[in-house]
Structure 1
Amino acid sequence: MPLHILLILVAGGIGLIAVLLHLSGRSAQTVMTSEEARNAWLRQFPEDDIRQVLIAQDGHAALVQTPNGMGLVWAFGADTVARHLTGFDLTDTKRGLRVNFHQFAAPSSSLTLTETERADWRLLMIAA
């Protein structure tokens, strides 16, 4: 089979799979409850004792209070990512906050927050 035909078939197949996943709802972001955010944190940091969980109004992010300080859990497609809030910069955006971590593995995250949440979360995150 000629290479150009093979490339078209592969690209078309990958595109078709992406469209089918999107149409079936499997590309939607995770919406977390307090318990789901707690479980997501413990999946990454099982040794931590969680004192408090604060969920964003849209359910796509959560602040987690531990004895080691604050942490952030956020939706990454159908999964979640969790990071301790050490070594980061905050930037206000039109829709909330952008967290730029000083880590290669998680360079940044955009959080959608209400105006009230943005102010509260900024204070809590900086105090961490």
Structure 2
Amino acid sequence: MPLEILLALVAGGISITALILHLTGRSARTVMSAEQARDAWLRQFPEDKVGQILTAQDGHAALLQTSQGMGLVWAFGADTVARPLQGCNLRDVPTGLRVNFSEFAAPSTRLTLSETERTDWRLLMNTA
């Protein structure tokens, strides 16, 4: 089979798969409750004890007090990512906060927060 045809088949197959996943709702961002945020944190850090959990109004992020300090869980498509907040930098953006981590695996994320949430979360995150 010529390489051009093979490349067209592969590209078409990937495109069709992505379209089907999107149309069936599997590409929607995760909306988390406090319990789901706790579970997401414990999947990545099973040895931690989770205390208080503050979820964003849109449900796409949660701030957690853990036995190791403050942590953040956020939606990454249909899945979640969890990271401790030690050594992070915060920057205001028009829609909320941008969190820059000091690690290669998760360089930064944007959180959609209301003005009140932004103030509260910034205060809590600065204590990390």
- Scaled to the shorter chain, the TM-score interval is over 0.9
Give runs of aligned pairs for residues 1-128 of structure 1, distance below 5 A. Answer: 1-128=1-128
State the distance in 2 between where 1:17 and 1:51 align.
40
Ranges of 4+ aligned residues in structure 1 off by more than 6 Å: none
State the distance in 2 between where 1:41 and 1:16 align.
33
How far the C-alpha of 1:46 sits from its partner, in A, is: 1.1
Matched AA of 1:51: G
Percent identity, aligned pairs only? 71
How far the C-alpha of 1:49 sits from its partner, in A, is: 1.1
Matched AA of 2:41: W
State the distance in 1 between where 2:9 and 2:67 align.
53
What residue ranges of structure 1 are gaps of 5+ in the alignment? Answer: none
How far the C-alpha of 1:67 sits from its partner, in A, is: 2.6
What residue ranges of structure 2 are gaps of 5+ in the alignment? Answer: none
1:38-64 per-residue CA deviation (whole Å, 9 max, x = no partner) reads: 111111111111110000000000000
State the distance in 2 between where 1:47 and 1:30 align.
24
How far the C-alpha of 1:88 sits from its partner, in A, is: 1.1
State the distance in 2 between where 1:127 and 1:120 align.
11
Scaled by the length of structure 1, the TM-score of the pair is: 0.97
> What secondary structure, in the 3-state scheme, does the structure 1 residue paired with 2:86 have?
coil
State the distance in 2 between where 1:9 and 1:62 align.
41
Matched AA of 1:40: A
Matched AA of 1:108: S
Scaled by the length of structure 2, the TM-score of the pair is: 0.97
Alpha-carbon RMSD: 0.8
